Amino acid sequence: MKRRTDQELKEEKPVRIQKIISDHGIASRRAAEKMIQDGRVCVNGLRAVLGQSAKVDADLISVDGVPLGKSTGYVYLMLNKPRGYLTTVRDDRGRKTVMELIKGIDARVYPVGRLDLNSEGLLLFTNDGGFANAVMHPSSCKQKTYEVKVRGDALKALDLLRQPVKVDELIVQALNVELATSFNNGGILHISISEGRNRQIRKMCINCGVTVISLKRLSLGLLELGELKSGQWRFLTKEEVTALGKV
Protein backbone atom coordinates (compact mmCIF):
# COMPACT_ATOMS: atom_id res chain seq x y z
CA MET A 1 0.00 0.00 0.00
CA LYS A 2 1.32 3.42 -0.96
CA ARG A 3 2.33 5.50 2.05
CA ARG A 4 0.55 8.83 2.30
CA THR A 5 2.66 11.99 2.24
CA ASP A 6 2.70 14.52 5.08
CA GLN A 7 0.79 16.93 2.84
CA GLU A 8 -1.92 14.33 2.14
CA LEU A 9 -2.26 13.59 5.85
CA LYS A 10 -2.53 17.31 6.55
CA GLU A 11 -5.28 17.74 3.94
CA GLU A 12 -7.28 14.72 5.13
CA LYS A 13 -10.73 15.79 6.30
CA PRO A 14 -11.74 15.00 9.91
CA VAL A 15 -14.61 12.55 10.44
CA ARG A 16 -16.82 12.04 13.48
CA ILE A 17 -15.24 9.40 15.71
CA GLN A 18 -18.41 7.31 15.97
CA LYS A 19 -18.47 7.00 12.16
CA ILE A 20 -14.83 5.91 12.09
CA ILE A 21 -15.53 3.22 14.70
CA SER A 22 -18.60 2.06 12.79
CA ASP A 23 -16.70 1.94 9.49
CA HIS A 24 -14.11 -0.32 11.14
CA GLY A 25 -16.86 -2.77 12.07
CA ILE A 26 -16.47 -2.44 15.83
CA ALA A 27 -19.96 -1.17 16.64
CA SER A 28 -22.90 0.72 15.20
CA ARG A 29 -22.74 4.51 15.37
CA ARG A 30 -25.17 4.60 18.27
CA ALA A 31 -23.16 1.99 20.18
CA ALA A 32 -19.95 3.88 19.35
CA GLU A 33 -21.44 7.05 20.84
CA LYS A 34 -22.09 5.11 24.05
CA MET A 35 -18.45 3.87 24.00
CA ILE A 36 -17.26 7.48 23.74
CA GLN A 37 -19.53 8.59 26.59
CA ASP A 38 -18.25 5.70 28.73
CA GLY A 39 -14.65 6.82 28.21
CA ARG A 40 -13.62 3.74 26.23
CA VAL A 41 -12.32 5.69 23.21
CA CYS A 42 -9.08 7.68 22.99
CA VAL A 43 -7.60 9.85 20.26
CA ASN A 44 -3.84 10.29 20.36
CA GLY A 45 -3.81 9.06 23.95
CA LEU A 46 -6.50 11.45 25.21
CA ARG A 47 -10.03 10.46 26.13
CA ALA A 48 -12.43 11.31 23.31
CA VAL A 49 -15.61 13.33 23.81
CA LEU A 50 -18.93 12.99 22.02
CA GLY A 51 -19.04 15.13 18.90
CA GLN A 52 -15.27 15.03 18.40
CA SER A 53 -13.79 14.40 14.95
CA ALA A 54 -10.49 12.85 13.93
CA LYS A 55 -8.46 11.93 10.86
CA VAL A 56 -8.43 8.19 10.12
CA ASP A 57 -4.84 8.02 8.91
CA ALA A 58 -3.28 10.94 10.79
CA ASP A 59 -4.69 10.28 14.29
CA LEU A 60 -4.29 7.27 16.56
CA ILE A 61 -7.73 6.09 17.64
CA SER A 62 -8.14 3.29 20.16
CA VAL A 63 -11.07 1.46 21.76
CA ASP A 64 -10.48 -0.13 25.16
CA GLY A 65 -6.76 0.51 24.64
CA VAL A 66 -6.65 -1.35 21.30
CA PRO A 67 -5.76 0.79 18.25
CA LEU A 68 -8.09 0.58 15.28
CA GLY A 69 -6.64 -1.62 12.57
CA LYS A 70 -7.38 -1.70 8.90
CA SER A 71 -10.90 -2.69 7.95
CA THR A 72 -11.09 -6.37 7.01
CA GLY A 73 -14.04 -5.81 4.68
CA TYR A 74 -17.73 -6.18 5.31
CA VAL A 75 -19.09 -9.37 6.86
CA TYR A 76 -22.72 -10.48 7.11
CA LEU A 77 -23.94 -13.51 9.04
CA MET A 78 -26.88 -14.89 10.93
CA LEU A 79 -27.01 -16.85 14.17
CA ASN A 80 -29.70 -19.13 15.55
CA LYS A 81 -29.63 -17.58 19.01
CA PRO A 82 -30.35 -19.91 21.92
CA ARG A 83 -32.13 -18.83 25.09
CA GLY A 84 -30.01 -17.49 27.92
CA TYR A 85 -27.70 -15.21 25.90
CA LEU A 86 -27.78 -11.41 25.98
CA THR A 87 -27.84 -9.59 22.65
CA THR A 88 -24.93 -7.29 23.39
CA VAL A 89 -21.23 -7.06 22.61
CA ARG A 90 -20.24 -7.27 26.26
CA ASP A 91 -21.88 -7.36 29.68
CA ASP A 92 -20.40 -5.70 32.77
CA ARG A 93 -22.09 -8.29 35.00
CA GLY A 94 -20.33 -11.20 33.36
CA ARG A 95 -23.44 -12.78 31.84
CA LYS A 96 -23.30 -14.81 28.62
CA THR A 97 -23.56 -12.79 25.41
CA VAL A 98 -24.20 -13.76 21.81
CA MET A 99 -20.60 -12.80 20.94
CA GLU A 100 -19.45 -16.01 22.65
CA LEU A 101 -21.20 -17.96 19.89
CA ILE A 102 -19.55 -16.13 16.98
CA LYS A 103 -16.22 -17.91 16.54
CA GLY A 104 -13.81 -18.39 13.68
CA ILE A 105 -13.90 -15.03 11.88
CA ASP A 106 -11.28 -12.27 11.89
CA ALA A 107 -13.69 -9.33 11.56
CA ARG A 108 -15.21 -7.64 14.61
CA VAL A 109 -18.97 -7.88 14.09
CA TYR A 110 -21.86 -6.75 16.25
CA PRO A 111 -25.56 -7.74 16.48
CA VAL A 112 -28.13 -6.05 14.28
CA GLY A 113 -31.27 -5.44 16.29
CA ARG A 114 -32.09 -7.43 19.40
CA LEU A 115 -33.59 -10.61 20.79
CA ASP A 116 -34.14 -10.57 24.55
CA LEU A 117 -32.49 -13.00 26.97
CA ASN A 118 -35.21 -15.63 26.79
CA SER A 119 -35.93 -15.35 23.07
CA GLU A 120 -34.42 -17.53 20.34
CA GLY A 121 -33.91 -17.59 16.62
CA LEU A 122 -32.64 -15.51 13.74
CA LEU A 123 -30.20 -12.77 14.71
CA LEU A 124 -28.04 -10.86 12.22
CA PHE A 125 -24.44 -9.70 12.71
CA THR A 126 -22.32 -7.38 10.59
CA ASN A 127 -19.52 -4.82 10.61
CA ASP A 128 -21.30 -2.70 7.99
CA GLY A 129 -22.92 0.24 9.75
CA GLY A 130 -24.89 1.30 6.68
CA PHE A 131 -26.36 -2.17 6.26
CA ALA A 132 -27.28 -2.36 9.96
CA ASN A 133 -29.04 1.01 9.80
CA ALA A 134 -30.96 -0.02 6.66
CA VAL A 135 -32.17 -3.25 8.30
CA MET A 136 -33.19 -1.63 11.60
CA HIS A 137 -34.65 1.65 10.33
CA PRO A 138 -38.44 1.81 10.85
CA SER A 139 -38.96 2.93 7.24
CA SER A 140 -37.70 -0.44 6.00
CA CYS A 141 -40.87 -2.13 7.36
CA LYS A 142 -39.27 -5.56 7.11
CA GLN A 143 -41.59 -8.36 8.15
CA LYS A 144 -40.43 -10.48 11.08
CA THR A 145 -42.17 -13.77 11.82
CA TYR A 146 -42.04 -15.48 15.20
CA GLU A 147 -43.05 -18.89 16.51
CA VAL A 148 -44.75 -18.16 19.84
CA LYS A 149 -45.74 -20.84 22.32
CA VAL A 150 -48.38 -19.48 24.69
CA ARG A 151 -50.26 -20.53 27.80
CA GLY A 152 -53.95 -19.70 27.99
CA ASP A 153 -56.86 -19.55 25.56
CA ALA A 154 -54.97 -19.52 22.26
CA LEU A 155 -58.11 -19.50 20.09
CA LYS A 156 -59.52 -16.44 21.82
CA ALA A 157 -56.13 -14.71 21.68
CA LEU A 158 -55.90 -15.49 17.97
CA ASP A 159 -58.84 -13.24 17.17
CA LEU A 160 -57.68 -10.49 19.52
CA LEU A 161 -54.11 -10.49 18.16
CA ARG A 162 -55.41 -9.93 14.63
CA GLN A 163 -56.89 -6.62 15.78
CA PRO A 164 -55.10 -3.42 16.88
CA VAL A 165 -53.54 -3.88 20.33
CA LYS A 166 -52.38 -1.23 22.79
CA VAL A 167 -48.72 -1.62 23.83
CA ASP A 168 -46.98 0.99 25.99
CA GLU A 169 -49.67 3.59 25.22
CA LEU A 170 -49.28 2.99 21.47
CA ILE A 171 -51.55 1.09 19.09
CA VAL A 172 -49.81 -1.68 17.15
CA GLN A 173 -51.14 -4.38 14.86
CA ALA A 174 -49.67 -7.66 13.65
CA LEU A 175 -49.33 -8.18 9.91
CA ASN A 176 -50.48 -11.77 10.25
CA VAL A 177 -51.38 -14.23 13.02
CA GLU A 178 -51.92 -17.96 12.51
CA LEU A 179 -52.56 -20.84 14.90
CA ALA A 180 -49.97 -23.54 14.14
CA THR A 181 -51.22 -25.98 16.77
CA SER A 182 -53.28 -26.01 19.94
CA PHE A 183 -53.12 -28.08 23.10
CA ASN A 184 -54.69 -28.12 26.53
CA ASN A 185 -54.54 -24.57 27.93
CA GLY A 186 -52.25 -23.26 25.21
CA GLY A 187 -50.99 -23.35 21.66
CA ILE A 188 -48.33 -22.28 19.17
CA LEU A 189 -48.91 -19.12 17.16
CA HIS A 190 -47.05 -17.71 14.18
CA ILE A 191 -47.05 -13.93 14.52
CA SER A 192 -45.67 -11.52 11.92
CA ILE A 193 -44.92 -7.86 12.67
CA SER A 194 -43.02 -5.03 11.00
CA GLU A 195 -42.33 -2.93 14.10
CA GLY A 196 -39.60 -3.78 16.57
CA ARG A 197 -40.67 -2.31 19.88
CA ASN A 198 -39.16 -3.65 23.08
CA ARG A 199 -40.76 -7.02 23.97
CA GLN A 200 -43.63 -6.14 21.64
CA ILE A 201 -44.99 -9.64 21.02
CA ARG A 202 -44.80 -10.63 24.68
CA LYS A 203 -46.74 -7.50 25.63
CA MET A 204 -49.27 -8.02 22.82
CA CYS A 205 -49.92 -11.55 24.04
CA ILE A 206 -50.33 -10.51 27.68
CA ASN A 207 -52.82 -7.83 26.63
CA CYS A 208 -54.74 -10.48 24.69
CA GLY A 209 -54.99 -12.87 27.62
CA VAL A 210 -52.14 -15.35 27.04
CA THR A 211 -48.62 -15.67 28.41
CA VAL A 212 -45.58 -16.39 26.23
CA ILE A 213 -43.73 -19.57 27.19
CA SER A 214 -41.18 -19.44 24.39
CA LEU A 215 -40.50 -17.16 21.43
CA LYS A 216 -38.38 -17.84 18.35
CA ARG A 217 -37.76 -15.54 15.36
CA LEU A 218 -38.19 -17.62 12.21
CA SER A 219 -37.61 -15.03 9.50
CA LEU A 220 -36.62 -11.45 8.71
CA GLY A 221 -37.81 -10.15 5.36
CA LEU A 222 -37.09 -12.92 2.86
CA LEU A 223 -34.36 -14.41 5.06
CA GLU A 224 -35.41 -17.60 6.86
CA LEU A 225 -33.80 -19.44 9.75
CA GLY A 226 -34.29 -22.74 7.96
CA GLU A 227 -32.39 -25.76 9.28
CA LEU A 228 -29.70 -23.77 11.10
CA LYS A 229 -29.30 -25.41 14.51
CA SER A 230 -29.49 -23.57 17.81
CA GLY A 231 -26.15 -21.92 18.63
CA GLN A 232 -24.83 -22.21 15.07
CA TRP A 233 -24.21 -19.42 12.56
CA ARG A 234 -23.54 -19.04 8.84
CA PHE A 235 -22.54 -16.30 6.40
CA LEU A 236 -25.27 -14.65 4.35
CA THR A 237 -25.14 -15.09 0.61
CA LYS A 238 -24.73 -12.08 -1.65
CA GLU A 239 -28.36 -12.50 -2.72
CA GLU A 240 -29.55 -12.50 0.90
CA VAL A 241 -27.60 -9.34 1.68
CA THR A 242 -29.10 -7.64 -1.36
CA ALA A 243 -32.63 -8.76 -0.40
CA LEU A 244 -32.20 -7.26 3.08
CA GLY A 245 -31.46 -3.86 1.59
CA LYS A 246 -27.74 -3.77 0.79
CA VAL A 247 -27.16 -1.30 -2.04
Structural domains for the chain:
13-67 (3.10.290.10), 76-139+224-243 (3.30.70.580), 143-220 (3.30.70.1560)
> In this predicted structure, what is the pLDDT of residue 196?
75
Residues 51-60: pLDDT tens digits?
999 988 788 9
Q: Which of 70-84, 88-102, 161-175 has the lowest mean pLDDT?
A: 70-84
Q: 111-126, pLDDT tens digit by residue?
A: 998 899 999 999 999 9
pTM, 2 dp = 0.73
DSSP state of 27: S
Do the strands 119-126 and 211-220 form a parallel or antiparallel pair, or are they unpaired?
parallel
Q: pLDDT band at 25, cuts 50/70/90?
A: low
Which member of 91, 116, 159, 168 is catalytic? 116
pLDDT at 71: 55
From residue 147, give the alpha-carbon distance in Å to each of 99, 113, 119, 189, 226.
24, 18, 10, 6, 13
Residue 247: pLDDT over 50: no
What pLDDT does residue 240 have? Answer: 92
- The SS3 assignment for 195 reads coil
Lowest mean pLDDT among 71-75, 97-101, 106-110, 164-168: 71-75
Is 128 an active-site residue? no
> In Å, what is the CA distance from 79 to each residue of 199, 207, 231?
20, 30, 7
List pLDDT tens digits, range 186-242. Answer: 999 999 999 878 899 999 999 999 999 999 999 999 999 999 999 999 999 989 998
Kind plus residue range of the DSSP H or E element containing 234:
strand 233-235
